[in-house]
Amino acid sequence: SRAPAQPRARMSGPALSRAQCFGFSPHVPGGLQFLDEERLAFVCGVVCVVYNLETKEQNLVQSNASPIVALDVSANKKSMCIGDAGGVSLFDSQALKRRKVLNLDNETVVSTDYTADSRFCLTQTGAPSYTMSLWNIEKTPKVVCSTRVSTATGPEVYNAEICPDDPNFVCVSGNALLHFYRIVEGQLRPVNVNVKREPQRYMVQCWLPEHRLVLGTDQGELLLVDTH
């Protein structure tokens, strides 16, 4: 009779690691950012690619094993914020090392934004809580104030951004949702801004000087809002 087959020995060797990544995740808020005049950061699946325009080299930054859903770079270009299903991580934009983590209690972030002085970071989570939180990130990260901007069965939220001219003024936008908040005495309080337009599906937003805001809709329209 034939002898039973012996199991094959598992070959040992170095583990595979990514060398380069190609592609771009177009639906990530802030998914394309300049770190400085030579380096461009963009989201490609589960990694953030830092591409040097001069040397054509790539550095790959990975926060967790899940796809990246939000990216932002501080105004002073010293910090980079990466959000995924595991939470939000703050990286040193020069060393590309993780320095701090914002604990979102297992909520998935949909948007992140630094204040103009780079001392605070705004996070917006998705369903079911839709919680917007302002974090002090100078030392150990801590929540300064937070509020829920929608409900589990309410409209989806896509973006939350701080006005660069006024760090106490915030705009939140989404599907038929456009809310403004002002930070007063440690609380995010709703502010009424008269927008003479039926609610739209606001896909993107961008602050301009003098408290003006541009909103992009799913119909390809750009709306200019004066929030004064």
Instruction: Pick the closest to residue 133 from 153, 99, 107, 154 (CA basis).
Output: 107
CB 168 within 8 A of CB 183: yes
The predicted model scores a pTM of 0.87
Cα-to-chain-centroid distance, residue 197: 27
In eight-state DSSP terms, residue 175 is: B
> Is pLDDT above 60 for 11?
no
CB under 8 Å to 11, separation ≥6 — which residues?
A: none
The answer on pLDDT for 164 being more than 60 is yes
H helix or E strand, kind and range, residue 135: strand 131-136
pLDDT of residue 5: 60
d(Cα 196, Cα 186) in Å, to the nearest integer? Answer: 30
Residues 185-213: pLDDT tens digits? 999 999 999 888 888 999 999 999 999 99
Span 37-51, average pLDDT: 94
Distance (Å, whole) CA 82 – CA 159: 15
Q: Could you tell me which residue, 2 or 62, shows the higher pLDDT?
A: 62
Q: Residues with Cβ < 8 Å from 105, sequence gap 6 or more?
A: none
- Mean pLDDT, residues 152-167 taken together: 94
Residue 10 is which amino acid? R
Q: Give me the percent of the chain exceeding a pLDDT of 90.
A: 77
